[in-house]
Structure 1
């Protein structure tokens, strides 16, 4: 089936989302409502965000959409390979699959034997990376995979952790073989695993780990450790517990690069810290590393990552403006203890310590931009999303699930772009790569789906969009739905003839 979409106007959807939307399950299998509770969010003022900041404007151009493949189990990573196939990780099947870019036929090449997959969570087979010379005949054909596993399978309750494993491509058997564990014991959770894995232009691996959804929802009594840095003792004993809420930089054999930053006197895998749920990670042609992450109920972020830098979470969401966010540290409630409290996204009990953003005095880097910053009296309980209390779908956010760079010529109206896929809005947006802080996001395409990953073909003629196999999104009328148009699919977007 083919669809042609002429973009001529703006798309509005309830008021966007955070990463609660992040999926199908926590109400998000990425449900990220994340809330870190907001003492002002229970107001009735219903003050809308500034239109210039929150209304994505559509670009003018004609894109033709086709369904390349369907029936996939929550595709998470999509890499256009040099062999004419898309290499895909299927998160909830623990499977790596190759899909023909020509006819959409698919062939599994690996089912990870020890991957941990639990219903309605963010775990499973996540990121994948390969070197630029993959299949070029000049080097080993390595594929790196990141996934969650049970570190104590004998126990009654799973001990969820994450690892990165290197596989080798066997071009005769056409399978991935010879697994080599590079790093294991990394923190993982039922929520906010992030899991994006990149092979950088410097020949190193970059991997994002979320904050584990701590201090919210089912994990509300667990302390958020995105600001905590590893000690020398922990690094020496290969204890990676402090890697929550971090972006890591690793040698391709898992070692700590000697030129990684020393932060508080300790060199570790940590490249940057203070992140919430960084699912977008991409290098621009000039070597700039861009990152996107889900905000709590507002303030999704686009960041430029630099070595050793703190990005503020959970003390700051978006800009340090004291607008529509205050850090409520539920884990530090003592009278009564946190475990006796009932968690709320909208009201912080008096026993929970709160900190305004302006009280954070540590050096940190504000984002390039947010999606979106709203007034302190913004009404987060939008009536459009009141049924079944699916308020996260109407939060003023995009739920950015991935980033890609477009710098080709085949789709001229794109120019040099940062492409952003949105989960809850089922939309693809662009920013100007040369000035990503300028203007508002331009809507390129929309369906009633959950867009998990956007990728670009090597010739720049095709955009690939991976969709979730389930979950909630906003319908065309701006109300929540779990009836998605393209379930577990790969969509293609090309310039219409």
Structure 2
């Protein structure tokens, strides 16, 4: 039987709601009227992760537009003047009036989509067709959601048609994709080349509860697997897909096969967006080395053999699935640098394949010998995660020259230059920031927050807490492009 240390059990959040909006959910096609939104203050807090280069977060006013959402995941300001948001655990697509906070349900997938308790599955990322709302007959929304496939979970990408604020006529694009309660990623973007791009995490294999499962981020399908529509090795990849679900003829040929895979070797690219023709991702590292990447055709990004740069700093690849005598009897240790003797390890510099290095690790790379254990601020194994150097990117959006990356641990938004050499922290609240959207005039930034702090968030003085200030909410803050760097 696989064993996890008791102290690694996830602690559920105790919700602390400060919004004045209506918490009730809307029936399909219905709406809820919101009261006057609350205004709270984001206090200036010295950045703790990244640990260098990021400026201190300034004080700013934060308005709660609406709350009562079921783990909002993707957020977009649509041409109809509404904020469209997917609810991961709420299993909906909801439209929100950015002024009043009133909500209406565009799509309810209850009974069709699947979300496991505290899992990273459910109704996930979406993208609007570039001609959405332009009267060209392309009012399409492309959505990823997980569903039950026998005894297992899987993910599908589908297309809906929008009309009068409702989504209908589900059309499959690609089904049977990997689906799990960890490391889903699940961001969709529509490229200037007319292709869909989709990020899939490594499903949490070789980590935590799934530490005995082999990690397939480096594995590539054969031509026979592609012909059989076997997408099981799409874990830890970025896909490039024709809108009808077929494989583009100009996709890279990898391992002697042309598949949907555009790039590979990724852990959990929770954020993905285009800046013009350039595709960027924000990727969660293990205990160190969150990554900001520029995605290239056929590029290998090194995971799980390399985290961040190939520098042998504070990371070795511990392959639990190949443990001598079997993995099941071993007790998992989250520190990849100190596995049991039965678990084989390789240094980053042992990885000899060509790989693409990140543009930045946001200051989350540390020297070997770093203490990943308990500290006075994080006194037990359950809270030690909060003192790891990572900041846990939740999403990435590009607006002009600004790259905005949300943090699930720090309750903040980081603004980066496209080369990754400069970044600053904009502000902070005690929330897990999942995604952002910018108003058409560029003056208001909307932020979606998780409903639970199951992995904790930094509270006052950097102390870990599961008490979120605004769970399951959309916040609004003033934004100014001209203050960057």
Q: TM-score, normalised by structure 2?
A: 0.87
Distance 2:466 2:77 in 1: 29
Mapping of residues 52-201 of structure 1, within 5 Å: 54=52, 56-58=54-56, 63-112=60-109, 113-152=111-150, 158-171=151-164, 174-201=165-192
Distance 1:201 1:459 in 2: 22
Say yes or no: does 1:477 pair with 2:461.
yes
Q: Provide, for residues 170-227 of structure 1, a one-character-per-residue CA deviation record: whole Å limited to 9, x for no partner.
A: 22xx321111111111111121111111111211111110001000111011000000
Distance 1:165 1:11 in 2: 42
* Cα 1:268–1:387 shift into 2, 3 Å: same
Q: CA deviation at 1:388?
A: 5.3
1:378 aligned residue (365, 370, 373) = 370
* Cα 1:59–1:470 shift into 2, 3 Å: closer
2:331 aligned residue (342, 359, 371) = 342
1:155 aligns with none
Distance 1:6 1:427 in 2: 11
Q: CA deviation at 1:79?
A: 0.8
1:417 aligns with 402
Distance 1:142 1:406 in 2: 22
Judge conservation of contact 1:11–1:56 (CA < 8 Å) in 2: no
Q: CA deviation at 1:495?
A: 4.7
Say yes or no: does 1:464 pair with 2:461.
no
Judge conservation of contact 1:12–1:478 (CA < 8 Å) in 2: no
Distance 1:103 1:146 in 2: 28
Distance 1:55 1:390 in 2: 25
Point out where structure 2 has 5 or more consecutive residues left out of the alignment.
1-37, 481-485
1:333 aligned residue (323, 326, 332) = 323
Distance 1:385 1:130 in 2: 41
Judge conservation of contact 1:12–1:55 (CA < 8 Å) in 2: no
Judge conservation of contact 2:442–2:479 (CA < 8 Å) in 1: no
1:27 aligns with none
Mapping of residues 287-302 of structure 1, within 5 Å: 287-302=277-292
Spell out structure 1 runs of 4+ moving beyond 6 A.
none
* Cα 1:3–1:389 shift into 2, 3 Å: closer
Distance 2:60 2:245 in 1: 41
* Cα 1:12–1:231 shift into 2, 3 Å: same
Judge conservation of contact 1:314–1:327 (CA < 8 Å) in 2: yes
Distance 1:431 1:349 in 2: 39
What's the secondary structure of 2:391's corresponding residue? coil
RMSD: 1.6
Q: CA deviation at 1:426?
A: 0.3
Q: Name which structure has the greater RCO, CA cutoff 8 Å, separation 6+.
A: 1
Distance 1:388 1:119 in 2: 22
Distance 1:212 1:234 in 2: 19
Distance 1:167 1:432 in 2: 34
Distance 1:101 1:450 in 2: 20
1:369 aligns with 360
Q: CA deviation at 1:135?
A: 1.4
Distance 1:237 1:482 in 2: 45
1:25 aligns with none
What's the secondary structure of 1:393's corresponding residue? helix
> How many pairs are equivalent?
436
Say yes or no: does 1:486 pair with 2:470.
yes
Distance 1:324 1:231 in 2: 34
